[in-house]
Amino acid sequence: MDRITVVPLGDAQIQIHSDECMGAVLWPAANVLAAWLMEFASCPSLLELGCGAGLCGLAFAKTTGGLAVLTDLDDSLDLAQRNVELNGLPSCRVRPLDIGLFLQDEGPAIVKEFGHFPLVVGSDLCHDAGMACKILSAFDLMLGSDGRCVLALSANFESYVATVQALADAKGFKQELLLKTSCCTTLVVLVRGVPSWSLPPYLEDGRAAPLQPAHEKMDRADLLFA
């Protein structure tokens, strides 16, 4: 059943049409990432993969005024478009991007329209090792030569961090930040080149959260390269 949820994010509020289907529900990591993206004022634009309801891109656009391109499967975009209109955010654009079957067709079309992005983000997308590979391929294609990717994973998906790290290393990314928040969401920040904008600290209770050690529970990322 469709409903409107008001999501408080610091001093801002985002209104979201959502329902109980998988792509339209607000997953935990999206709330964490959206709140952090509100601090990315020095970044001019972002691309959100698998946006679902679009919370992360909406939060970025509302607080920074930057361009946010929300992407997902073509048949899932109506929800994101309604949320853009509900919040009155002209700096948001909604485009189809299937990072599995049609990445090499739809991805270049988005790059042709907007250019490569200084920031590419996704939340709770990594539900198996194959999906991790698709996410890194999308990062590689859509990110500019000097940019960052941010992936947020809820506790249920944190075992895939090792796979993400291995795939990122194979594609020439460097890990800039690995952080586990107090609500058990893991944030992975990957960097390529030298971004022109600064990465803001992740704040909890008004203080910069400390870096966390690498996870003890890892999936067998080495099997991907056997």
Which structural domains are found in the chain, ordered by start? 3-225 (3.40.50.150)
Tell me the C-alpha distance between 82 and 139, whole Å: 26
Percent over 70 (pLDDT), the chain: 86
pTM here is 0.90
pLDDT for position 225: 39
Structure tokens at 123: 């939340």
Is the CB of residue 34 less than 8 Å from the CB of residue 9?
yes
216-225 burial, b at 16+ Cβ within 10 Å, e below that, comes to: eebbebeebe
Specify the pLDDT at position 179. Answer: 94
For 182-187, what is the mean pLDDT? 94
**What is the C-alpha to C-alpha distance for residues 98 and 141, in angstroms, rounded to an integer?**
13
What mean pLDDT is predicted for residues 12-31? 75
For 220, residues 6+ apart whose C-beta sits below 8 A from its C-beta are 162
**Strand 117-123 and strand 143-153: pairing?**
parallel
Q: What is the pLDDT of residue 21?
A: 53
Residues 6+ apart with CB under 8 A from 24: 17, 18, 52, 53, 76, 79
pLDDT tens-digit map of 85-114: 999 999 999 999 999 999 999 999 999 999
* Residue-level pLDDT at 223: 39
